[in-house]
A and B are shown apart, each in its own frame.
Chain A
Amino acid sequence: MTFFDKFLRIRELGILTIIIVFVVVASIIDPRFLTFDSWRAVFMAIPLILVMAMGQMMVIICRHVDISIGSILAFAAIAIGLIFIEYPNTPLWVAIIITAFVGAIMGLINGIIVTKFNVHSIIVTLGTLSLYRGLVFIVSGGRQIDRNDIPLSIISFSQTSFLFSIPSILITSTIIVLITHYMMRHTIIGREIYATGSNPVAAHLKGINVTKITLFVFTLCGMLSGIAGLFYASRFGYVNPGVTGVGIEFIVIAGVIIGGTSITGGSGSVLGTFLGILLLGIINVALPVLNIPGGYQKAIYGVIIVAALALDQLIIYRMKKLRSLKNV
């Protein structure tokens, strides 16, 4: 395995190292950090963001970005919440299908505007971020969905389980992550996604339908954000039109970028994205343990994402130099 693969491996190892260093330092400062409860908190904090990150990763690999995912999450959550109010006996699997479907449609709309009108995805999704959020308000009438509105089966999704007392939500997100990994590595469409991001012109020449691929990744990203909406309702027990999902897009993007997916397209791995999100989750949990005020979280995230971007460029610069030295 040459070069680029080494680069990715370095990245994943790098994050892993940072994670380990962080955990060690935090545990030394306060041994409470190593308790089961802390870890449980970490792993419960991430399924939502992890699932969304899978979708965002695919979009960024294709040289796009989707910042409307928070609004898609909220809309799917509100929609399913309202359905729960009308039909309190909605089974879990039906709820998953509905939220996935709603999210998929919204993602598809994003994709259509980007491909059909040839507009930059950042601006499109900046617009749909507000458009969808507005729809959340309209549909909910400004009302919050409360705990009593959500069926017990949904709430217990995040609490009980059928496997080693790991909450079902965790198992489900793990399954989603594994499926994503499989799709990206071992199916044709996965490789075509990488190809499209790596060199869209060449992809077209080789017969890849770039439009189809683009629509696919946006739809998938929306679908996963929709499912995350259900996760939200399950985990937090409420859905508030003004709060749910606000600002979450930047945390998701941060995790994806930190995990090694490049904004220039063509590279990125499920493992890396997972590690990136894990790092953010650990920091989240570690802060109170380290007696750092919660208000510092955003700043720390910001430092990490900028540092990751800077580091990426420095590595690319070094690699280019090394490579030209080799070609003497």
Chain B
Amino acid sequence: MKLATKNIGKTFSGVNVLRNVDFELEPGEVHALVGENGAGKSTFVKILSGVYTPTEGQILLNDSSIDITSPIVAQNQGVTLIHQEPQSFSHLTVAENIFMGHMEGSNFSRIKWSDIILESNKILNSIGLQIDPRNIMEGLSIADQQMIEIAGALSKNSKVLIMDEPTSPLTPNEVSKLFKIVNQLKKSGMAIIFISHRLEEIRLISDRVTIFRDGDKIITKKINEVSNEEIIKFMIGRDLKKTEVSENNYIKNKKIILDVKNLTLQSKFQDISFELHKGEILGFAGLVGAGRTEVAKSIFGSELFDSGEIFFKGEKINNYSPNESIKKGFAYVPEDRKQMGIFGSVAVEDNMTSAIPKIISNLFGVINKKRVSSLSNEYIKKFDIALTSGRQLIEELSGGNQQKCIISKWLLSKPSILILDEPTRGVDVGVKSEMYEIIKKLSEAGTSIILISSELPEILSLAHRIVVMREGRISKILNHSDATQEIIMQNAIN
């Protein structure tokens, strides 16, 4: 089955996020989509899989135009999306997860369990998965859940499989397992669209690559006719220079502000030890799932750990809680903005002042509204946050502006240690460079920063030293001068 698009475009409430996408997919092809966050590749695959309907353009299946109006329609046409975070029914069996939604028969007809188990075994075997389909989903690893989603797609006779950053939550072993399956599916004629930001992986597995940038499809190339540097160039539209990260006064003093010794949390991270200097930007690199966020959460006190010690300014920390940490001057900008970063239906200025209750209120707790406004306006101006008024609800702002608000919130608490977890995720390119400036200035003013990031260029342009984590352990700590993307990657993968 040949899938193609002509002139696909999408506009959300006046904002044009995708335009003029002509695309072709051959059966048996693995086609990678790359681009920075917000480049439009996610939007594009969501249109193909029925989550969004295009504002303009057509989708063509075997050269005839079809309307894909919902995920079910897409699936019926043979196009299935495998989500980054597998959506499974944890209370049900593997077989049911595979076949839910398309079991044979009417509502009240008897389910032929033996047939379903048989079919499930067939499909699972065909992708080399050794799981008993009668097992319950609960407790299976993300990798297995992903495979089962793929099995589900196979059970519906999908011809096109779309995978959205499937390797992010996987260990390297699991990634190779996944790639083996992809190759198998390829041989059987299935076409696969593969979104990833990992160029090495793309090179391993895909036939062609399409690069998106700022809502446009830039170009499609055969993978062996384009180099990584060229891909990156297409992605960002400019050369990637290795930037100079200069030592500031604070770093020269080498004062240790945070000393982490042998931090361990069963099954999440082991034996984490490192030092953070005043004024330093300490980068944390590694694959998703390496344990960086978990370490950060434990340092911040929002999650517990099993053993180890943390010393702040030479003194051992005894009470771990977000409240205690904030009192000491810690700040944490979380990875998941919506879940943990913002109070969606609350005004921007209330969001911004939510970590400094004592500053905006008097002895009796009465809030000083003027202070709230002035403090938030200070940062709205400083960071050029786009909004109509400080009373606007934060969820109405764009992702990048929301992120600016969150960072403002923590800067208002005048932290001595700022933990940034994927701070530029979902932020557009322009805002990104603004943020880099902010981060640099902070470190020059003496704030110590832990920067967790999956974007190597980002870490390389900011961090003085880089901690590389792999599968819950620190594999190497690099100085900026010794670090390159390849060396970091080597230490992050097996």
Contacts and interface: CB of A to CB of B under 8 A. Distances in A.
* A and B in contact, CB less than 8 Å: yes
Nearest to B110: A186
B90 A4 contact: yes
B102 A207 contact: yes
A199 B89 contact: yes
A183 interface: yes
Nearest to A5: B136
Nearest to A327: B267
Given A188-B107, A191-B103, A195-B100, 16 more contacts: A4-B91, A186-B110, A188-B108, A191-B100, A192-B100, A194-B92, A198-B89, A198-B92, A201-B87, A203-B101, A205-B87, A266-B90, A266-B92, A324-B268, A325-B266, A326-B139
Nearest to B137: A4
Interface in B132-177: 134-139, 141
A192 B72 CA distance: 16
Contacts of A113: none
A187 interface: yes
Interface in A192-235: 192, 194-195, 197-199, 201-203, 205-208
A202 B135 CA distance: 19
B91 A198 contact: yes
A194 B89 contact: yes
A323 B268 CA distance: 12
Interface in B103-132: 103, 105-111, 113
B421 interface: no
A191 B137 CA distance: 14
The prevalent SS among residues of B at the interface is loop
B422 interface: no
Nearest to B96: A191
B88, B91, B101, B109, most chain A CB atoms within 10 A:
B91
A208 B101 CA distance: 6
Contact of A2 (B75, B138, B268): B138
**Interface of A: prevailing SS:** helix
Contacts of B102: 206-207
Contacts of B92: 191, 194-195, 198, 266
Contacts of B426: none
B446 interface: no
The list of the 6 closest CB pairs from A to B, nearest first, reads A206-B101, A202-B87, A266-B91, A207-B72, A189-B107, A4-B136
Nearest to A205: B71
B75 A207 contact: yes
Interface in B239-293: 266-268
Contact of A187 (B110, B136, B139): B110
6 contacts: A188-B107, A195-B92, A207-B101, A266-B92, A324-B268, A325-B266
A1 B136 contact: yes
A187 B105 CA distance: 9
A1 B134 contact: yes
A168 B110 CA distance: 27
A246 B113 CA distance: 42
Interface string B59-89: 0000000000001100100000000000111
A3 B72 contact: no
Contacts of B113: 186
B472 to A, nearest CB: 9
B100 A208 contact: yes
A90 B290 CA distance: 71
A2 B134 CA distance: 9
B348 to A, nearest CB: 27
Contacts of A194: 89, 91-92
Contacts of B75: 207
Contacts of A186: 110-111, 113
Contact of A195 (B89, B111, B136, B266): B89
A243 interface: no
